[in-house]
Structure 1
Amino acid sequence: MHWALLAAAIALEVFATSMLKLSDGFTKLWPTVAVLAGYACSFYLLSRVLLTMPVGTAYAIWSAAGTVLVVGIGFVAYHERLTALQLVGVVLTITGVVLLNVGGQAHGSPEPAGEPGPTAATAASLEP
């Protein structure tokens, strides 16, 4: 379920970022409303994802996917220039997220949020 929420959070963030260009510096009402609503909903969904996924992993995926998608939208929809060096940056961004995820799986995942381990105070109270 957290993957679906993360995908929705990414889609809303990409939508909001794309609307920034159309808001004309927040001078056009409806694109500005779309930016604010898109970011608010995206951050809400991201906060829900963080209940079950490590923050580093979730944020890396969220930000990198958003960056790559917005670069693509800029190229296709806004006819922005994309150089070979920028393409290398996109590939490195994707590679970095993959390495973060593989590295996290190799070392085990931290305890899920909402299920904290014993603190010093509770551990002391458990001692005989």
Structure 2
Amino acid sequence: MSLSWLYLFAAIIFEVSGITCMKLSQGFTKITPSILVFISYGLCVAFLTLCIKKLDVSVAYSVWAGLGTTLIAVIGMIWFRESATPIKLISISLIIIGVIGLNSGK
């Protein structure tokens, strides 16, 4: 695995952290999660910028968006007790299939 892919996965982790902190900040009324939103997104953008130096932007962005969306949906269902309806689970599966398809279509 190249360093660019590690940068991409770091960007995904920081994006998911930022979204999670956004929820925990309760509309920016809680100071620590509010600050972590901006730190997480700053690191996310920095790592995403580093990864697209070597990776195709279409692949990097689709993996970042797809896996980020999938992870935050799963976190929402597990941690925040959001509903896990069949349509949500099917939709998450389709996102994963789409990311795999974009990466295998080179």
Instruction: Give the TM-score normalised by the residue count of structure 2.
Output: 0.95
Following superposition, the deviation at residue 92 of structure 1 comes to 0.6
Structure 1 segments of 4+ aligned residues over 4 angstroms from their partners: none
Alignment partner of 2:99 out of 74, 97, 100: 97
Alignment partner of 1:87 out of 68, 86, 89: 89
Distance 1:26 1:40 in 2: 17
Instruction: Give the TM-score normalised by the residue count of structure 1.
Output: 0.79
* Backbone CA RMSD of aligned residues: 0.7
More helix by share: 2
* Structure 2: gaps of 5 or more residues: none
Residue in 2 that maps onto 1:40: 42
Q: Which has the larger radius of gyration?
A: 1
* Structure 1: gaps of 5 or more residues: 106-128
User: How many positions carry a matched residue from both structures?
Assistant: 104
Relative CO higher for 1 or 2, CA cutoff 8 Å, sep ≥ 6? 2
Distance 2:101 2:79 in 1: 30
Question: Which residue type is aligned with residue 2 of structure 1?
Answer: S
Identity between Structure 1 and Structure 2 (%): 36
Question: Which residue type is aligned with residue 44 of structure 2?
Answer: S
Following superposition, the deviation at residue 64 of structure 1 comes to 0.7
Question: Which residue type is aligned with residue 29 of structure 1?
Answer: I
Residue in 1 that maps onto 2:9: 7
Following superposition, the deviation at residue 44 of structure 1 comes to 0.6
